[in-house]
Amino acid sequence: MGRHLVHLFGNISARSVSVLRGFRLHSSSACYPVVQTVVSHQPPPPARTLLDLRRRLADESLSLSDFVYSVEVGTKKRPIPKPKWMKETIPGGAKYAAIKSKLRELKLHTVCEEARCPNLGECWAGGETGTATATIMILGDTCTRGCRCMHILLAELPKSAFGYLMLLSEELFCCLFRFCNVKTSRTPPPPDPNEPSNVAEAIASWGLDYVVLTSVDRDDLPDQGSGHFTETVQKLKALKPNILVEALVPDFRGDRNCVEKVSKSGLDVFAHNIETVEEMQNTVRDHRANFKQSIDVLKMAKEYAPSGTLTKTSIMLGCGETPDQIISTMEKVRAAGVDVMTFGQYMRPSKRHMPVSEYVTPEAFEKYRALGVEMGFRYVASGPMVRSSYKAGEFYIKSMIESDRAKISSASNDGS
């Protein structure tokens, strides 16, 4: 990259590449210089040679300094440090160790480990409520999608800057970061046909009260994995009828048959995460996912699932969204009939992943929780360490399901 700069601007050293940090990068995909300069709308004649182009660029009024607000030689932008409320506890305990050992024995995957969930130890051990939970990832550990965040889009570069930047390395302005920590492939291995039975037997032996079954996206399969989900739920319920099962499913590309199949499988909670606010879907999620499709999936689940089945979704904050966007998204989710919504802080798993835009305060999370209750959500879990499959939330969801079933049973007896 430095060679490109020296080639174009001979008086700039390779070490000065860091001045390009002067471009303001934000997850809204905006890139703009601080200094605004009026540029003639009359296009210059096309350059016939690279030498002509260099001369023309040197004669124009704009220079690299017009796009720089600070020069820091030999420095890198540091990530936002974690605040004190984001400190994590080290997982442990007898039940935690037993579950982990069994997972390794049966070669099962959990999203708790794959996504580096900060609540892993608390959930597996049972915590304060005594409701031990785990989130099992079926259909393998390799996703067919790759949710990324593009921080600078070429189409949104200022025209005055484009002439300079188009000659530099693409690394300068096409910065792609992973959002999800699960590995990806266009052709993942086929699902294990014995997995539904193995998962059911393992979970039935753990003494869990509540289990979440989730999966990677499997766009490579004819039914996108919906049959695998259904079989796993049914086998688990056959072995342990009283366990509560939540299916945290992909969007199945909006396929109505897939959603109907899983909704009628015997699960207790149908969950599908919209991940982020409506305005940032294209920035954060894979191009095959979108807000409308996710909302439609949640609506279809409500339509097909038996009475008493809850629907649930989740978003992560700290990706660059605004409070107004969060509230607007909440309103649309509630209008879709969703019963439960959770909010958590996005945490960057590694340097390859999308940077954290902001650490949302616990006070702000509490405001969203209270607002969600006012909107009519039956339960809202909101906090920096909350994840979609969160033990404390599942304790309350369990209570709601049991209460709903008691009412349905009572109404049925009265009718007979």
The residue extents of the domains of the chain are 2-78+151-178, 97-144+185-415
- Confidence band of 363 (pLDDT split at 50, 70, 90): very high
Is 389 among the annotated ligand-binding positions?
yes
Percentage of the chain lying above the pLDDT 70 cut: 55
Residue linked to tokens 């279809």: 300
Burial class of residue 63 in the structure, from the number of CB atoms within 10 Å of its CB (0-12 exposed, 13-18 middle, 19+ buried)? middle
Is 180 among the annotated ligand-binding positions?
yes
Residue 283: partners with Cβ closer than 8 Å, 6 or more residues away: 27, 28, 29, 149, 150, 276, 319, 320
- Flag whether the pTM goes above 0.85: no
Q: Which residue has the higher pLDDT, 305 or 210?
A: 305
Is 149 among the annotated ligand-binding positions?
no
User: What pLDDT sits at residue 102?
Assistant: 65
On the question of pLDDT at 60 being above 60, the answer is no
User: What pLDDT sits at residue 132?
Assistant: 60
Question: Residue range 76-83: average pLDDT?
Answer: 64
**Cα 252 to chain centroid, rounded:** 16
Q: Identify the bridge partners of residue 178 per DSSP, sorted by sequence position.
A: 148, 353
- Confidence band of 334 (pLDDT split at 50, 70, 90): very high
The answer to whether the beta carbons of residues 391 and 383 sit under 8 Å apart is no
d(CA 59, CA 45): 13
User: What pLDDT sits at residue 378?
Assistant: 94
User: What pLDDT sits at residue 33?
Assistant: 39
Is 319 among the annotated ligand-binding positions?
no
On the question of pLDDT at 292 being above 80, the answer is yes
Is 258 among the annotated ligand-binding positions?
no
On the question of pLDDT at 154 being above 90, the answer is no
Q: Identify the bridge partners of residue 142 per DSSP, sorted by sequence position.
A: 183
Q: How many CB atoms lie under 10 A from the CB of residue 13?
A: 12
DSSP conformation class of 81: P
- Confidence band of 256 (pLDDT split at 50, 70, 90): very high
CATH of domain 97-144+185-415: 3.20.20.70
Q: In this predicted structure, which of 147-151, 226-230, 251-255, 311-315 has the lowest mean pLDDT? A: 147-151
pLDDT (tens digit per residue) in 227-240: 999 999 999 999 99
Burial class of residue 104 in the structure, from the number of CB atoms within 10 Å of its CB (0-12 exposed, 13-18 middle, 19+ buried)? exposed
Is 174 among the annotated ligand-binding positions?
no
